[in-house]
Amino acid sequence: TFKRPTNQELLLQEILQEALDLPLSGESANYIPALASINPNQCGIALANLDGEVHVAGDADVPFSIQSVSKIFGLVMAMLRMGDDLWRRVRMEPSGHAFNSIVQLEWEHGIPRNPFINAGAIVVADTLVSHYSASKSALMSFVRGLADNQDIHVNQDIFQSEKMHGSRNAALAYLMKSFANIDADVNDALDHYFYQCSIDMSCRDVARSLGFLANRGVQPHSGDQICSRRDAHRLNAILQTSGMYDQSGEFAFEVGLPAKSGVGGGIVAVVPNYGVICAWSPRLNQYGNSCLGMYMITRLAKKLGLSVY
C-alpha cells in the first residue's frame, strides 16, 4: 500500500534533491583502498524524532563506514565505565589542529585535547580494552542495542585496511604510551580503535542509535536510561566544540547543533529535545567533512529553525 509521505519526509526529499543538483565537489577518502572504492555519488538523510518515528530520503538505508562517528559510542561507554577519572586522561578542549595531528600531543605531555581527535579516541579505546574482558564484543552489543538492530556489523575489509595503513595512529599511541597515558598493550588499544572505526551503519541506524543525546540520556524508542542527564549534556558540549574537526567553529556558527562527522562521509547532528539527523555522502571537503552532508544538515536546520542558540 502507498504510504503518504509526511511533511518532514517531503522536506527531506526536497533537500536531498537540491544537494544532488549541486555541482560535484570533493573526493571520497582515499587513505585506505576499501574506502576509495565506494561509489561516491550515494547520498542519504534520516531524521529520527523523539516520538520514535524516523523519516528518510535517498540512500538512508545503505550501511556505510561510520569511521569517526564511532568515537561517540566509544566515549559513551568509557564515560559510563570510568566516571570522572576519564577526564584525567583526555581533556575537553577544541584542538585547532587536524584530527590526526601529532605535534600538540608532544607539547601537552601525551594528554589529548579531546576524545574526538584520533589521539583522544585511542585513549578512550585503551580504557575500554583495560576495563572489559572482550571490549570489541561489548562495543558491538552496545551499538546494536542502541540502534535496535542486530544486523549491524564490522566491515572486515575496512578493518584490515585500517590496520595495514595505521602507522600514524600507531605513532600517536606509542607517543602516549611513552607518557604513560596508554595502559594496555599499544596493539590492543589500536586494534579496538580500528575495529570501532570499521563499523558499518545506515543513516537510519545512526540517527536512531543516538536519540538519547537529544533526550537527556533516555533512549526514545526503548525508554532506557543510557547515560545520565549530566553526561548527555557533556557529550553534546564536546560534540559542539570538537565534533566537526577543524570546521567545528564554522558548524556552530552556521548550524548551531552538536554534531560529529567521519571520513566515510557520515555526519550526525543532535537536536536537543527534538531528534537526531544523520546525513551521508562520501565526497569530502578540505576538512574531511561530507560536502553534501554539510549542505543537507545546514539546509534542514535553517528551514526548521533547529539551532540551539
Of 48-77, binders to ligand GLN (CB under 6 A) are 67-68
Instruction: Tell me how far, at minimum, the Cβ of 104 lies from ligand GLN, in Å.
Output: 16
Q: Assess 155 for contact with ligand GLN (CB under 6 A).
A: no
Q: Assess 118 for contact with ligand GLN (CB under 6 A).
A: yes
* C-alpha grid cell, residue 110: 601525551
Residue whose CB is less far from ligand GLN, 135 or 161: 161
- Between CA 47 and CA 43 the distance in angstroms is 14
Residue whose CB is less far from ligand GLN, 79 or 263: 263
Q: Assess 285 for contact with ligand GLN (CB under 6 A).
A: no
DSSP state of 218: B
Residue whose CB is less far from ligand GLN, 64 or 99: 99
- Between CA 101 and CA 86 the distance in angstroms is 21
Residue whose CB is less far from ligand GLN, 32 or 300: 32
Please answer whether residues 16 and 296 qualify as being in contact, where contact means their C-beta atoms are separated by less than 8 angstroms.
yes
Q: Which long-range contacts (CB under 8 A, 24 or more apart) does 110-113 make?
A: 110/175, 110/176, 110/178, 110/179, 110/180, 110/181, 111/179, 111/181, 112/176, 113/242
Known binding residues for substrate: 68, 118, 162, 169, 193, 245, 263
Q: How far is CA 69 from CA 3, 35, 64, 203, 209, in A?
A: 32, 15, 11, 11, 12
Residue whose CB is less far from ligand GLN, 57 or 184: 184
Please answer whether residues 266 and 200 qualify as being in contact, where contact means their C-beta atoms are separated by less than 8 angstroms.
no
User: Residue with CB nearest ligand GLN?
Assistant: 68
Question: With CB under 6 A, what is the number of residues at the site for ligand GLN?
Answer: 11
Q: Assess 262 for contact with ligand GLN (CB under 6 A).
A: yes
Q: Which of 99, 142, 251, 280 is in the footprint of ligand GLN by CB under 6 A?
A: 99
Name the nearest CA neighbour of 110 among 134, 89, 86, 141: 89
Instruction: Tell me how far, at minimum, the Cβ of 249 lies from ligand GLN, in Å.
Output: 17
Q: Assess 162 for contact with ligand GLN (CB under 6 A).
A: yes
Q: Assess 247 for contact with ligand GLN (CB under 6 A).
A: no
Q: Assess 128 for contact with ligand GLN (CB under 6 A).
A: no
Residue whose CB is less far from ligand GLN, 15 or 259: 259
- Between CA 243 and CA 252 the distance in angstroms is 10
- What b-and-e string marks burial along 77-115, b requiring 16 or more CB atoms within 10 Å of the CB? bbbeebeeebeebbbbebbeeebebeebbeeeebbbbbb
Please answer whether residues 201 and 147 qualify as being in contact, where contact means their C-beta atoms are separated by less than 8 angstroms.
yes
Instruction: Tell me how far, at minimum, the Cβ of 263 lies from ligand GLN, in Å.
Output: 4
Binding stretches for ligand GLN (CB under 6 A): 67-68, 99-100, 118, 162, 169, 197, 262-263, 288
